[in-house]
Structures are given as C-alpha cells and as structure tokens.
Chains A and B, each alone.
Chain A
Amino acid sequence: MKALTYTPSLAKYVATKAGVPGAGALELTDIRPPRIPGKDWLPVRPTLTGICGSDLALLSGKASLQLATLTSTPFVPGHEIVGTIGAGPRRGERVVVQPALGCAVRGLPPCPECAQGLVALCRNTTDGDVSAGIQTGFCRETGGGWSEGLVAHVSQLHTVPDDLPDEDAVLVEPLACALHAARIADVQPGENVAIIGAGTIGLLTLAAVRDAAPSATLICVAKHHGQQTAARRFGADDVCAPDRVYIEGARITHSRRLVGHQGREMLLGGFDRVLDCVGTGESLEQATTITRARGRIVLVGMPGELKADLAAAWLRELEIKSAYGYEHDFPRALEFAKQLRPGRLIDRGWPLRAHKKAIEHAPKAARAGRSKTVFEVAA
C-alpha cells in the first residue's frame, strides 16, 4: 500500500532548516496496511485528505520541537480525512475522521479532559493501545490520511450526510476547529472583532464567528490580495492588509493610533476580540497592540516557534486564550458545512505520487485565495 511516510532525523532537520532542496523527510513508500489495534477499530480508505498548514510547517522544519514530543515517528501525516470504511458491516460508508486520539480511542479510563469532552486536550496521548500521538496523522500505528489506508476508532468516525460532497467534507475538521475557536472567542453582539490571517483556518474562523455573532463588526487582515475577496465572501465586513491594520482599526473602533519608534504602532483603544489565525511573532505582537484593554486574543491553529514582544499584553491586561481542536463540534461542523460550502477553498487535488509538487504548490495557492490543497487518494 502506498503511503507518504515522514521519517525525521537530525540530519534531515538541519538540511531542511538550511533550505537544501530535496532533503525532505517525506517519502512515498510502500507499506503494509496498518494493523487493527483492537476491537472497535475500523480500516478507512481515504478519498480526499487535506494538507494542513501544520503539516507544511512540519515538513519545512518550522514546526515547534515541542510537538515532536507528542508524536511517534515514522508516521504518515494527514489528519483532515474524508474516506470510506474499508471492512466490516459498515463497509463503504462515507465518513469523516476526527483525528484526536483521546482516552476512549486508546482504551484508557477517561482523563479529566476526556471526561469533559475535550478529546483534543487529552492527557494520555502517550499511553494506551496505540503509540504516542496527539492525532491521527502524528501516530505511528494508526496511519494517516496521506496513504491509501489507515485505521480509526469507531468514536473517531462521523458519517457524512449524502448531500455533503467530499470537497466540503474534507474541510469539516478545520471547520470544527474554527467553530471551537469561535466559541472560545465568545463574541458578544455588536463587538469589534479582528481576525488576523485569511488562510484556511482564518477564513473558516471568520465564517464561524460570523455565524456565532451576526451583528459583530468583523475585519479580516489578509496579507495577500487574492485572499481579500475570499475573506469578503466568507463574511468579513472589511478586509485590509497587515500594514494598514492600525489605520483601519482606528477608524472602525474609533480609537487613536500612535506611531512610535521604528515604525511600531499601537491603538489607544482597539478591538474587543482578536483571533490570530496566522501564528507568527508579528501577528501576535500586532494582535496585542490592536486589542483594547482587557480584550481577548484567541490563538487559533498550530503555530511554529515564534518570537514576539508582548509588553502590550501586560499593559492592557489582555486575556490570551487559545483554541485547539474541538469539543463536540463535528456534528455541528457537518451541518454548517452544508450551508457554508467550504469546498470553495480547495485549489486542486494531487495524487500521492506528486507529493513534492503538491507541498511546493500549496503555499502559493494559499496566497491566491484558494487556500486548501488536498491529496486525492482514491477516486
């Protein structure tokens, strides 16, 4: 069975960081189909798998090394999966995989987080029936989406309704994250919200926040021009480029903009909620300077290692919350996907053997507003 396996090593890590081409740790290999670890596990054949920003960060060496502690190599990446069940009575059923490997999946008694339903925040991700891994797609034994077959626990599988096409279904996982982030952000009606970043996560978060608070003023900070139209379609009231955030923000929130040394700007006053879907040092610093005192910053997605001057966070007594994963958001996401049609974000599907091209092409496509690239595994 074909699969893209990620086999990191120090040499490859250094080479990737140094930018040596062709030194990637990702290879198309022929592997045995993954073993079923126990009962309640089913084989899944992926139809479409998304390439997430975190996967790209991982492959380009920009991912935080803290992540590595919670993964078991070598693994097959890919956690945004829509596929069909491969065997058993439910064979052929279209499902979406919720990748989080919680206590239930691992056959352990539920930890406090899993008891609350916060499966993505499970403490026991290094124990249990399968090897360590926070999600499918970071675990050696489960396999991942970038292959022709993986195994998933029954609790991970959500049936895809018939009127939801595969393109929309593959984005249900990020949409679930977005809904979760929107709930964490807890936008009150009429508030000013800024969403920094208009990639997949940014746009889906934008849609989720718009759905959660229809009367809020949403401004999306999109770096690339192609993303601006997508942002408007996904529900932003206003779109601006990162260098104009302060000017637009001052106008929207009726605050004053001060320009300090070395071009550092800040707003006196600012947004009530800022959701950072980019995860770089600049975006985080910008987020702290555009939020009003005692406002809330929500960090969405999975960042790399970053360096930021967060003095403003202290000065303004900001709440910095983070949204990772999902609670019980998958059913809601499946419903929402029917009306949102997130499949519009997909640029194109690549076969597994063209993985080099796909990985190379994915960021470029993201700048044009079609931010998602997927692998078309099965027909």
Chain B
Amino acid sequence: MRFASGGRRLEKLAGANASRRPAAPRKWRTLAAGRDPWSGRGVEDQPWLRERKPALLREVAQQALLFPATRAVAMPTIVGAQDLIHAPQPAILAPNHESDIDTPLVLLALPHAWRSRTVVGAASDRFYRKRAYAIAAGFWINTFPFDRGGGQRRGLAAAAAHLREGRNVLLFPQGTRGAGPEGYRAGVAELALTASAPIIPVHIEGSALVMPKGRGLNRRAKTKVTFARPLHPRAGETPQELTARLHDAIEG
C-alpha cells in the first residue's frame, strides 16, 4: 500500500505526531528512585585516539580551533608553566573545578612536553554515554572514562594504569563542578599514594563566570591558571592529610 508523500515542508515544520511516551528530560539530570540502568558507561575508552597520528591531528586541531576559542573567551593568564619542566612526569594534575572550560584552560596552559603526555579523566556517566560524545571528548581533550561515584573508586584504577604507562593524568579532586572549597575528595590523594606519583596543584580562577554550571558560555572574562610546586606524597601519609595539603596548595 503506498502512501501519499507530498507536503514534506509542512510535515517537517509540524514535527512528529505526539506519542504516548512520557516526556523524557533531555538536558537536566533528574533524581530517580533507584538507579537508572543506563546511567553507567555505555561506551568504552577509545585508545586509538592516543596513537601517533590522531594525537598529531588533535594537537593541530587544539592549536587551530580549541585553544584560540578558549583564549578568546577566557582570556587566561598563566603562572608557573615554565617551572613545570622541573616537575617529574608522570604526575597527577589536580585543578579546582568550577566550569567546563577548566580542562581546555589547563591544557592550553601546559607546555607541549606535558600536554602531549597528558590524559584527562572525564566522568563516564557524562561523557561516555554515547559513542559520538566519547569520541569527540577523546579527540578534543584526550579523555579516558573515569567511573566516578560509589565507594569502590573504580575510576582510580584506570588513572593508575595511565600513570604506570607514563602519562600524566588530569583529575579534579572536587569530583564535580561547583563543589566549593569543602568539596575536595580523597580519591586523587589515594591515587597519588598508591601509584606514588606527585600531584601538581593547579588553581583556576575566574572560570565560573565564563561558563557556569548549568549554562553554556556566559560572558568573556579574565581567568588565571596557576601551577604550584609538585606535592610529593610523604611516607606514611594518609589520603586525608594529602588531600588537606592539596587543598591548601590549590586554594592557598
């Protein structure tokens, strides 16, 4: 049976017929009783994006597109990047987290020797739900999926593997955006102690105004990225003590 097929403009303009399914929230995360079975990671890590040619392409794309755009919007001042040459690699880069523009800011502040050897921990329930988003994140900012939340600290194992392979790992100790100075979790410190890697505290100032949580680009503003001296975990230090030291180094 063939159906009429004219009037496509009208059909396209008017959209689909309303279906019975309840409206699914698309932008905002909702609290549901019980766990959403799709809230976990749907996509695996894309390690092919770390090969030589994709990495070169990424560097070119970052320098041509991402970093100029970030600079235009965030107008960063970078302090302490020259001293990074004296910091041992692999290390854990630990910035405070206020907005989504933090990662591109830190990456553009890093020298090439660091940036080409850095992977960024991206929340798997946010970035690794769909394959296209996973590949986009993996390409632009060289992410790996970090399973956050839960007491198991599964994501730290993936980060430790990268450290063992000699890559620097960019993790946010606060775990999420806008957690405030009280929100420093002990995961990064645990990772540093287990993998005996130094932590480089990074202080990012002013990014919350540029791209606040819950809104896209807000306005242009001046930001400042400061790299502090590396923190080496002392023998017999607990994660809480190291987190406190890290908090002082970032916020102080």
Q: Does A263 contact B (CB under 8 A)?
A: yes
| Neighbouring A residues of B87 by C-beta, 8 Å | 258
Distance from B43 Cβ to chain A, minimum over Cβ atoms (Å): 28
Chain A 245-295 residues near chain B, CB threshold 8 A: 246-247, 250-251, 256-261, 263, 268
Cβ of B113 and Cβ of A257 under 8 Å apart? Answer: no
| Neighbouring B residues of A260 by C-beta, 8 Å | 85, 113
Cβ of A257 and Cβ of B89 under 8 Å apart? Answer: yes
> Which of A247, A250, A257, A258 is the one whose CB lies under 8 Å from B85?
A258
Given A244-B166, A247-B165, A268 and B113 contact (CB-CB distance below 8 Å): no
Cβ of B165 and Cβ of A268 under 8 Å apart? Answer: no
Q: Does B146 contact A (CB under 8 A)?
A: no
Find the B residue at minimum CB distance from A267: B88
The winner among A244, A250, A256 for most chain B CB atoms within 10 A is A256
Q: Does B53 contact A (CB under 8 A)?
A: no
Q: Does B185 contact A (CB under 8 A)?
A: no
| Neighbouring B residues of A244 by C-beta, 8 Å | 166
Cβ of A259 and Cβ of B165 under 8 Å apart? Answer: no
Given A259-B113, A263-B113, A247 and B166 contact (CB-CB distance below 8 Å): yes
Q: Does B86 contact A (CB under 8 A)?
A: yes
Cβ of B165 and Cβ of A257 under 8 Å apart? Answer: no
Q: Does B129 contact A (CB under 8 A)?
A: no
Alpha-carbon distance between A251 and B117 when the two chains are bound, in angstroms: 17
Chain A 89-108 residues near chain B, CB threshold 8 A: none
Query: Chain A: how many interface residues by the 8 Å CB criterion?
Result: 13
Q: Does B90 contact A (CB under 8 A)?
A: yes
Cβ of B86 and Cβ of A258 under 8 Å apart? Answer: yes
| Neighbouring B residues of A259 by C-beta, 8 Å | 85, 89, 113-114, 117
Find the A residue at minimum CB distance from B116: A263
Distance from A368 Cβ to chain B, minimum over Cβ atoms (Å): 24
Cβ of A247 and Cβ of B113 under 8 Å apart? Answer: no
| Neighbouring B residues of A251 by C-beta, 8 Å | 164
| Neighbouring B residues of A263 by C-beta, 8 Å | 113
Distance from A290 Cβ to chain B, minimum over Cβ atoms (Å): 14
Q: Mark B134-176, 1 if CB is under 8 A from A, else 0.
A: 0000000000000000000000000000001110000000000
| Neighbouring A residues of B88 by C-beta, 8 Å | 250, 256-258, 268
Cβ of A261 and Cβ of B90 under 8 Å apart? Answer: no
Distance from B164 Cβ to chain A, minimum over Cβ atoms (Å): 8
Cβ of B90 and Cβ of A247 under 8 Å apart? Answer: yes
Distance from A251 Cβ to chain B, minimum over Cβ atoms (Å): 8
Find the A residue at minimum CB distance from B166: A247
Distance from B56 Cβ to chain A, minimum over Cβ atoms (Å): 14
Find the B residue at minimum CB distance from A244: B166
Distance from A91 Cβ to chain B, minimum over Cβ atoms (Å): 60
Alpha-carbon distance between A250 and B198 when the two chains are bound, in angstroms: 13
Distance from B112 Cβ to chain A, minimum over Cβ atoms (Å): 9
Alpha-carbon distance between A247 and B162 when the two chains are bound, in angstroms: 12
Find the A residue at minimum CB distance from B230: A256
| Neighbouring B residues of A257 by C-beta, 8 Å | 88-90, 166
Q: Mark B68-97, 1 if CB is under 8 A from A, else 0.
A: 000000000000000001111110000000
The winner among B85, B90, B113, B165 for most chain A CB atoms within 10 A is B113
Distance from A81 Cβ to chain B, minimum over Cβ atoms (Å): 45
Find the A residue at minimum CB distance from B167: A247
| Neighbouring B residues of A261 by C-beta, 8 Å | 85, 113
Alpha-carbon distance between A286 and B32 when the two chains are bound, in angstroms: 57
19 A-B pairs in the complex with CB atoms less than 8 angstroms apart: A244-B166, A247-B166, A251-B164, A256-B88, A257-B88, A257-B90, A257-B166, A258-B85, A258-B86, A258-B87, A258-B88, A259-B85, A259-B89, A259-B113, A259-B114, A259-B117, A261-B85, A261-B113, A263-B113
Give me 16 other A-B pairs in contact (C-beta within 8 A), A247-B166, A259-B117 excluded.
Answer: A244-B166, A246-B166, A247-B90, A250-B88, A251-B164, A256-B198, A257-B166, A258-B85, A258-B87, A258-B89, A259-B113, A260-B85, A260-B113, A261-B113, A263-B113, A268-B88
A residues adjacent to B (C-beta < 8 A) = 244, 246-247, 250-251, 256-261, 263, 268
7 tightest A-B contacts by CB?
A256-B88, A247-B166, A259-B113, A259-B89, A257-B88, A257-B89, A258-B88
